[in-house]
Amino acid sequence: MKNKNFKIRLNGWSALVVILLALVLFVSVIVFVPLFVMFGLYNILAKFELAHIDLFESFWHDITYFGGFILLLVLLIFALDFLTLFILAAFKIQITTLVDLISILIQMVISIGIFHKFVLPYFDRISMEWLGIIILFTLFYGIIAIFSYEKSAPAEP
């Protein structure tokens, strides 16, 4: 079966509506999926008394508060990853599986320390034990490792 190119032609109002719907869907997925996944993780951590969250009375306050919390976590992880890539490039270190594993472990330790010392105190409705923070960052870095894994293509004869 051949790959056939197909074109969708939209113009005027139909194009605007499709673009707006796609944008709304994209933003909804970006905001709500991590938020509900985090609430599922919170339920597991709360069951073992590793985390506690005081909810607001309004759903939208919860969305903005905990969405900001998740956004700071992700920004912290990406900032440390970018800094690590910059350092590796500056010292011309070849990225191998071992170097990647060591850099992820170092990033985890640094991000856990920064998170516990500088981020968590500003979110007074969220309290987490050290083990809960370690589990949280292990999951985040695991997700990043899964999505950033590159399988080398076999050499063609």
The pLDDT profile of the chain, 157 residues, written as one tens digit per residue, is 566 665 666 667 777 787 888 888 877 776 666 666 667 777 778 888 888 888 888 888 887 888 888 888 889 998 999 999 999 999 999 988 888 889 999 999 999 999 999 999 999 988 999 999 999 899 888 878 777 766 555 555 5
Residue with tokens 């292990």: 138
Q: What is the pLDDT of residue 3?
A: 61
Q: What is the pLDDT of residue 111?
A: 95
- Structure pTM? 0.68
Q: What is the pLDDT of residue 6?
A: 58
Q: What is the pLDDT of residue 79?
A: 93
* Residues in contact with 135: Cβ distance below 8 Å, sequence separation at least 6, in sequence order: 45, 50
Q: What is the pLDDT of residue 31?
A: 65
Q: What is the pLDDT of residue 68?
A: 85
CA distances from 117 to 86, 106, 111 (A): 24, 17, 10
Domain ranges of the chain: 34-148
Annotate 45-79 with b (16+ C-beta within 10 A) or e (fewer).
Answer: beeeebbebeeeeeeeebeebbbebeebbeebbee
